[in-house]
């Protein structure tokens, strides 16, 4: 009899677990992606919006920077970003879709954070450090995004698209490295520390 009672208890516990998981699930919208291909296209729309937004944000950051190395890193990355937009248009073509931008809330937030940092600092080395901090968060977001997009493209058999996306991924990594090595490591903070 004791054995029978134990078995009943175990069964009840097993049944409760999936019910809890279901109640925590997010309800999908009626427009939810149907399969990995559709989700991949959604992600492309997201980063397409992000890159376009960056073509407006980067010149603003360059105008607020004081260090000449930082200014040139930002300006060089602006022209890379313009090329990345054209690359994304080719990636859309390869999946048979027209390039469409969909607001990327994450990039919108990162750009706003950059704006807040500029408003919270005086022009000079500290603002430069803030611009680098904001830009590196942006680059890391892009690195994560292009890494994911490369993986999706490969999984879906879009090998040519994966190569194009990988090219951009390497550029984003390069921009991140330039921000540290060419810009941050050359900033002279001593002038502000004297004040």
- Binding stretches for Fe ion (CB under 5 A): 51, 81, 84, 142, 172, 175
Residue nearer to Fe ion on the CB measure, 64 or 145: 145
Q: Minimum distance from CB of 175 to Fe ion (Å)?
A: 5
Residue nearer to Fe ion on the CB measure, 69 or 84: 84
Q: Minimum distance from CB of 79 to Fe ion (Å)?
A: 11
Residue nearer to Fe ion on the CB measure, 128 or 172: 172
| 156/178 Cα distance (integer angstroms) | 33
Q: Minimum distance from CB of 132 to Fe ion (Å)?
A: 13
Residue 110 is encoded by which pair of tokens? 């990162």
The position carrying tokens 């022209």 is 79
Contact 56, 82 (CB under 8 A): no
Q: Minimum distance from CB of 137 to Fe ion (Å)?
A: 11
User: What's the farthest any 2 CA atoms get from each other in the chain?
Assistant: 83
Q: Minimum distance from CB of 139 to Fe ion (Å)?
A: 5
Residue nearer to Fe ion on the CB measure, 126 or 175: 175
Q: Is 162 helix (H, G, I), strand (E, B) or coil?
A: helix
Residue nearer to Fe ion on the CB measure, 49 or 152: 49
Number of H helices, E strands in the chain: 7, 0
Contact 69, 183 (CB under 8 A): yes
Residue 179 is encoded by which pair of tokens? 């921000």
């Amino acid at each position: 009899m004791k054995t029978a009672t134990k078995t009943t208890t175990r069964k009840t516990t097993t049944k409760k677990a999936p019910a809890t998981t279901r109640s925590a699930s997010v309800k999908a919208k009626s427009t939810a992606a149907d399969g990995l291909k559709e989700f991949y296209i959604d992600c492309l729309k997201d980063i397409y919006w992000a890159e376009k937004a960056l073509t407006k944000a980067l010149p603003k950051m360059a105008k607020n920077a004081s260090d000449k190395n930082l200014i040139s890193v930002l300006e060089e990355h602006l022209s890379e970003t313009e090329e990345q937009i054209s690359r994304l248009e080719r990636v859309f073509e390869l999946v048979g879709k027209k390039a469409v931008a969909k607001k990327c809330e994450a990039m919108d937030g990162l750009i706003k954070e950059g704006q807040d940092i500029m408003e919270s600092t005086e022009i000079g080395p500290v603002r430069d450090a803030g611009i680098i901090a904001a830009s590196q968060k942006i680059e890391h977001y892009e690195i994560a995004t292009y890494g994911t997009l490369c993986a999706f493209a490969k999984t879906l058999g879009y090998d040519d698209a994966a190569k194009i996306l990988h090219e951009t991924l390497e550029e984003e990594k390069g921009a991140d490295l330039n921000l540290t090595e060419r810009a941050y490591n050359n900033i002279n903070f001593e002038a502000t520390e004297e004040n």
